[in-house]
Amino acid sequence: MSRIGKIPVKIPQGVKVSFQDAVMTVEGPKGKLSQPYHSVITFTPEQDQILVTRANEEKQTKAFHGLYRNLLNNMVIGVSTGFTRVLIITGVGYRAEVQGKRLSMSLGFSNDILVGIPEGITVASEAGGKLVISGIDKQQVGEFASEIRKLRLPEPYKGKGIRYENEQIRRKTGKSGVK
C-alpha cells in the first residue's frame, strides 16, 4: 500500500468535491479547480474525508495512487486556503512593483524587466524587497515563482539576486589579495 495514497483526504466545510467522467472537480470559497485522473484509481467519499484506492498492484498504478491522492489534497487546500510563495529581492537598486497585470522589476540590467502575471495568480510587492505570489493552484504558483527567480539567481559572493524566503544561500569568501 502506498504510504501517501492510503492517507484519507480531509474535506473542510464549504468545499465540494465531485468525480465525473474521469475528472475530479473541487469547488470552494476561493475558486474552482479540476483535474483529469486515470480510471485505475477510485475515490470513495466518507463523511468529511475521501479515501483513494487502486484497482491493481502494477507499478504504474501504485505511482498513480500517491499522485492523485496528493493532487486532490492540493486542490482541496488551494480552494479553501490557497498557496503562497514569498520571494526576497536583495541588491542595491533591485526592486519590483506591480503595474496592473504586469510585474516591473529593476534587477541591475540596463532595462527594467516586465513580466506578465498569469490569470489566477496575485502578486503583491511589499517593503523590504518582498514579493508575495499567491493563488489557488499550487503548481501554477510554484512555477511562476520559479520563473521570476530565474531572472536573477542569487549569487554566492554578495548575496544579490532573487531567492525564496526560506532559502539559505551558501556564501563564499572573495579573493584574499595577500602579498
pLDDT in tens, 67-88: 999 999 999 999 999 999 999 9
Asked if residues 149 and 164 have their Cβ atoms less than 8 Å apart, the reply is yes
pLDDT in the model for residue 174: 84
Percent of the chain with pLDDT over 70: 98
Domains 9-80 and 83-164 share a fold: yes
Q: Please give the C-alpha separations between residue 60 and each of 6, 56, 57, 65, 98, in angstroms, as whole numbers.
A: 16, 10, 8, 9, 43
pLDDT for position 79: 96
Distance (Å, rounded) from C-alpha 174 to C-alpha 109? 23
Strand order in the sheet with 41-46: 9-10, 49-54, 41-46
Domain at 83-164: CATH architecture:
Alpha-Beta Complex (3.90)
CATH superfamily assigned to domain 9-80: Ribosomal protein L6 (3.90.930.12)
Q: Residue 58 corresponds to which cell in the numbers above?
A: 502494477
Reported as type and span, the H/E element at residue 144 is helix 138-150
What ranges do the domains of the chain cover? 9-80, 83-164
Secondary structure (3-state) at 136 = coil
- What pLDDT was estimated at residue 52? 94
Q: What are phi and psi of 126, to 5 degrees?
A: -110, 170
Sheet of 31-36, strands arranged across: 16-20, 23-28, 31-36
What residues have CB less than 8 Å from 21, skipping those under 6 apart?
none
Pairing between β-strand 161-164 and β-strand 95-99 as defined by DSSP bridges: unpaired
Averaged confidence pLDDT in the chain = 93
Average pLDDT over residues 13-18: 94
Which cell is 14 given?
464549504
What's the pLDDT at 1?
A: 61
What is the b/e burial string over 17-39, where b = at least 16 CB atoms within 10 angstroms of the residue's CB? bebeeeebebbbebeebeeebee
